[in-house]
Amino acid sequence: MCTIDTCSSDNVCMVTETLGNCCGNGVCEQGEISDDCSDCGPYVIKPSKPCEDCHALDGFILEVGVSENANQAITLTSISLQHKAPEQFGSSVEVLVARSFNSGEVTKLSSSLWQGVTTVTVPGSKGMMEINFPSPITIDVAGKVELYIAASEELLQFGVGAYSIENDHGVHLHSSRAVSGRFGTALESFSLNCEAKYLVEEVTSFLPLYIDEFRNERLSALPEDTTTVQATLIPDRTSELQVESTPSTANNEMESTVNAWNDEMSSATLYTGITLHSATAVVLLVHLSVLW
């Protein structure tokens, strides 16, 4: 479930409509991947500027990862590669993934350290070809994978100079290491013309609280299956106060907390987050400015 909210100029928002179908709100929620909702993707990450005077080689290693500050994991579903027209009939490209990845280290070019993902035949004319993964690769938050792209001839197009890019999802793509010959010599500071396609992991929906209920020093009625309430009140440039309570005492404890702040401060800017841990795992997030 999600909502359509109307916000005033002072950032006070109110729910104007509750929706059963949330597809289109920019958040990948539970069940939306199976429904092919565009909120979950697929998304593409690629270098901002492909090479113009491209060179060609038969191997490249790419790194795809998710930032430790990202909100959700991803599933890597395919990679697209720019290639020149093959000289040999039936030329192929194999994608391999490193069996393990040590942070800060690059995997050695030894066949025992890499596992095949898929092999495809290269089209007869130059262009961009997409290679779909039969088993998509999951990358957790703060995780990385290395992909070795190995062609049967020198047809993978690349430019000079490495790149490392990151998008709004916290997904990053890094290219530097070219490989001459299958598990051959590694050459650094080169950029493969490619695109990585992925889906984002489903997350819990967001549901706002009414601002007026805090001004009146009371909470909304909690769902019956709620087991724990966590509330955090953070005055501007002051220390953090955190309160934990059960549903039966949530209203009383919140009322006492608000009164305590009211006694100590004449005005404050409060950033209030209420998290309900329940079977529906609903997260409620409110940003408000209150003049006491």
**226-246 tens-digit pLDDT:** 333 333 333 444 444 444 444
Q: What is the DSSP letter of 220?
A: P
**Is the CB of residue 286 less than 8 Å from the CB of residue 272?**
yes
CATH of domain 40-200: 2.60.120.820
Q: Please report the pLDDT score of residue 196 as a whole number.
A: 98
Residue type, 196: A
Q: What percent of the chain has pLDDT over 90?
A: 50
| Mean pLDDT within 32-48 | 92
SS3 137: strand
Q: For the chain, give me the number of helices (H) and strands (E)? A: 2, 20
SS3 134: strand
Structure-model confidence comparison of residues 213 and 162, the more confident one: 162
| Mean pLDDT within 62-71 | 94
Domain-wise residue ranges, the chain: 40-200, 205-287
Dig out the tokens for 279 from the structure.
């079977």
Task: Provide the CA 138 distance to its chain's centre, in angstroms.
Answer: 11
What region, left, alpha or beta, does residue 263 occupy, with left being phi > 0 and alpha being psi -120 to 50 degrees? alpha
pTM to 2 decimal places: 0.66
**Is the CB of residue 252 less than 8 Å from the CB of residue 277?**
no
SS3 183: coil
pLDDT tens readout for residues 177-201: 999 999 999 999 999 999 999 999 9
Q: Please check the confidence at residue 209 and state whether its pLDDT lies above 50.
A: no
**Is the CB of residue 192 less than 8 Å from the CB of residue 173?**
no
| Mean pLDDT within 36-48 | 94
